[in-house]
Amino acid sequence: MSEETRLREDICLFAKSMFDRGLTTGSSGNISARTPDGGLLVTPTGSSFGRLDPARLSRFDEGGTLIDGDKPTKEMPLHAAFYETRRRTGAVVHLHSTHSVALSMLPEIDPDNMLPPLTAYGIMKLGKVRLLPYYRPGDPAMGDAVRGLAGRRTAVMLANHGPVVAGKDLEAAVYATEELEETAKLAILLRGASPRMLTEAQQRDVIETFNVDWD
**134 a catalytic residue:** no
Among candidate residues 75, 178, 179, 182, the one labeled active-site is: 75
Q: From CA 143, how far away is CA 166, in angstroms rounded?
A: 13
Pairing of strands 155-158, 91-94: unpaired
Which candidate in 4, 121, 171, 175 is catalytic?
121
What is the pairing mode between strands 155-158 and 130-132?
A: parallel
Cα–Cα distance, 65 to 69 (Å, whole number): 12
75 is known as an active-site residue: yes
Answer yes or no: are the C-beta atoms of 158 and 132 closer than 8 Å.
yes
Nearest Cα neighbor of 12 from 70, 68, 51, 63 is 51
Residues designated catalytic: 75, 121
